[in-house]
Structure formats: C-alpha cells, structure tokens
Amino acid sequence: MAGIGVGRRVVLPVITCAALALGCAMAGCGAPHQAGSRAETLVSKQSAGSPRTATAAMTATGQPRYFADIVLASGSVAGTGPLQIRSSATGALVPRQPSVYALAIVAYGNGSRLMIARQAGDGCTSRLYRAALSEDGRLGRLSRVGPVVRGLVTSVAADSSGSLIGYFAGACSKSASGYLAVLSTRTGHTRRWTGVAVYGSAGTLATGTALSMSATGRLLAFTGAGSRATAQRVWVLRTSAAAGPIARRVRTVISKPAAGPALSSVVLSPDGKSFYLCTVATKGAVSAHRTVTQTAVITARRTSDGTSTSTLAKLTATGVTFLGQGFGCPMAMTPNGRYLLAPYRLHYGASTTVPPLVSAAVIAISGPARRTISFQLPGSAGMSVADGITAAW
C-alpha cells in the first residue's frame, strides 16, 4: 500500500452538500447539524432535555460499552463526517444517533467521555469540545474546550483526564504548513511545533493522522514521512519539548522504506513505555477489474528503540477493491490499555448504493482472546462514497 496516513483524504475548506447528505443517509436525520453553531445549541438531538446524565459503564471484561467513529467519504471536505456511536459487543448503531459532524475524535477517562474536534463555521478554523456518553449510548451536551484553533484539526489525542489535549492542525493553503499543538486546559497555554506537512501542504514532516498520547500526557506518537518521502517513520515527541520546528524536536523510533508495508497507525500504552503499531501490506495491483489482498500486522514495541516484543494479530482482508484500498488500519485503544479495536477491511457490494461493510478485530493486549465484529457504513450519497473511518474507544 502506497502512502502514509491511509484511509483519509482532505479537500479544503468547507463542508459539501454531498458530505452532509451522506450523514443523513446514515443517521436518518432531517436537516443536518451545521458546523459553527453557537455553543449553547451544541446538544445531541436526542439528549437535549434528557434527564439521563449518567455516563456509560464498562463491561465485566473492562471494555467500554460503546465506541465512536467518524465516517470519512471521498470528496468530503475538511475531513468532516458524521459522528456515530456503536455497541462494542456487536458494532451495531445505538438506537438514537447524534446529529453531529466532526473532524477528529478521541475517548478518555473510562471511555465514556469524548474529545471532539469540529470545523468552526465555513472558515479555516476548528473548535474542541467535550461530551459524555450516557448509559444507553446517547451523546450528551457538547461543551467548548480552549480557544478557537487556527487551521483544521486532522487528529486529536488526550491524556486520561482530558486536561491535556494534543492535535494536528492543517493550514488551508498549500504554501503554508500545519502544526502539532498541545493544549493544557488547566493553564490555558498552548504549545506548538511547526513544519507539519498535512495532506500535501508545506512542511518538513508529512503527517497529520494517527496521533496518540500516553495516559500520563507526557508523550505523543505518530506515523508519517520525512521531507524527501523516501521513508516512512514512527516518531515520538515529549509534550514538555520546547516549542519550535517539529523536525528538531521529534525522535525517530522506526524507519522503513516508503515502498514497503504502510505504517498505518500507532497507539501508545497508558504509561508510554510501549506502543502498538499496525502495518498494512498489499499483495497485487488493484485496478477496476482486479482485487487485492491486504494483511494488517499489529505488533507491540518498545518506545525506547522501536524493537518489536510480540505480534498481537495478523488480519487478512481479501477481495479488496479500488475504493477500499486506502482504508488502512485505524486503531483505537481502550483508555485502560487492555484492548485494541482494529478496523482492517472495507468491503463494497455490487454497487455504491449497497452499504460497505467494515470488519474490525477486538484484541486483548495481554492474551490470545480476539473476536471480530462487522458493521455497515452508509451507501453512496450523491458524489460521496464512504471510504474510511476514524475510531475512538
């Protein structure tokens, strides 16, 4: 699989009608929620006025009862998509879905709280919000966090309490570079590292997706490519590092040829001493008349030097078509560090009106236990076709 940060494409800077139609096709909503509404109105349609404020409990095995995802679509602008809440047991949508469009999402705490990035209006700015999931999976009121973010957020991460928030933000101009930032909600201070090439913009490090933060808030990890794009890498960065050019602050822990298996996503363990890497290898050349086989391999590695300590899973996706080739392996980890959710296959039907099917593995970190869940994304809506997700658990 060529390229880094698979499964997500961005065209700046405003939300298209096709992308909005896609979310309505999925959620069965009426007029979709428009980004940039006043904070006081940012309430899940179903939870407005609801007295049920208790947060979602965990199962006996230590898994959050629900996970969230954002549907990504071809032609979707700014990377925005409908936010969905699903059962961790089956992958099924909860009965009452939020009417919320988002750029990026992460779970924190015990998995019942979400940090959500959304486009602010139609301009090249974003906002961060907190929200809780109720016992029946309803998304609660969205409350603003921090100041307006310059640029469009492409990935977000948080510590265990949600008091430290990391995010990539892309500029809306090819001549300007994006940046990585960490916001402390306790002090209100934001630290930035510049020179991030987000989706083809200027910069020395090509990245912008798959950002992960340790539960302690001390370390960030992400995948991407250097300025020459001859290699793909996994980098780590201490959140205490001085602000400035990102290339001078990061440490490379893995470097692989750009032509090899794609370093699709990385997640840090809660203490930051290890991380989990999903690489995706493609066998065959995809075309309009041929399918390929993709194999996602998830390994546990030491953060100190990137050395592999074990292989957690090998996940094979057969019959991958052109539309699904860039799906990748957008992993999410439970905040307690005990389980991984690894979507690895996007299967399309005979036509784009048939909802594509996602296959995802639920993997126990400490043992051989593993199960697979499947769930459908929306079918075609105008020119937009669902071709990826980002997940939070």
**The dihedral of CA 73, 145, 266, 135: what is its sign?**
negative
Residue type, 258: A
* Residue 25, SS3 per DSSP: helix
| Six token digits for residue 325 | 């080739």
Domains (ranges, CATH) in the chain?
17-392 (2.120.10.30)
Residue 156 pLDDT > 70: yes
Q: Stretch 303-324: mean pLDDT, rounded?
A: 95
Q: What is the DSSP letter of 24?
A: H
Neighbours of 161 (CB within 10 A): 13
- Separation of first and last alpha carbons in the chain: 26
pLDDT digits (tens, 9 = 90+) for 339-350: 999 999 999 987
SS (HEC) of 289-321: CCCEEEEEEEEEEECCCCCEEEEEEEEEEEEEC
Going by C-alpha positions, the residue among 340, 298, 317 that lies closest to residue 67 is 340
The per-residue pLDDT for range 239-286, each reduced to its tens digit, is 999 999 999 999 999 999 998 999 999 999 999 999 999 999 999 988
pTM above 0.85, yes or no: yes
Percent of the chain past pLDDT 90, that is, above it, reads 67
- pLDDT reading at 89 higher than 90: yes
- The candidate with the shortest Cα–Cα distance to 308, out of 274, 264, 282, is 274
Q: Which residues contact 17 (CB under 8 A, 6 or more apart)?
A: 382
Q: Please choose, from the candidates 73, 211, 77, 74, the residue with its C-alpha nearest in 3D space to the C-alpha of residue 152.
A: 77
For tokens 């969205």, the residue is 142
When the pLDDT of each residue in the chain is averaged and rounded to a whole number, the result is 85
pLDDT bin (cut points 50, 70, 90) of residue 208 is confident
Q: Do 127 and 83 meet the contact criterion of CB atoms below 8 Å apart?
A: no
The more confident residue out of 167 and 1 is 167
Q: Is 96 exposed, middle or buried (0-12, 13-18, 19+ CB in 10 A)?
A: middle
pLDDT of residue 382: 66
From CA 116, how far away is CA 44, in angstroms rounded?
13
Q: Which two tokens stand for residue 103?
A: 């750029």
Got the DSSP string for 101-115?
A: EESEEEEETTTTEEE
- Residue 157: phi and psi, rounded to 5, are -140, 160
Return the DSSP state at 260.
S
* Local confidence band at 62 (pLDDT 50, 70, 90 cut-offs): confident
- What's the CA gap between 164 and 157, in Å, rounded? 9
27, pLDDT greater than 60: no
Residue 61: pLDDT band (50, 70, 90) is: confident
Rounded Cα gap, residues 277 and 275, in angstroms:
7
Least confident interval from 39-53, 220-234, 357-371: 39-53
Separation of alpha carbons 95 and 143, rounded Å: 23
Tell me which residue of 222, 215, 219 sits closest to 104, measured CA to CA: 222
In this prediction, residues 165-171 reach a mean pLDDT of 96
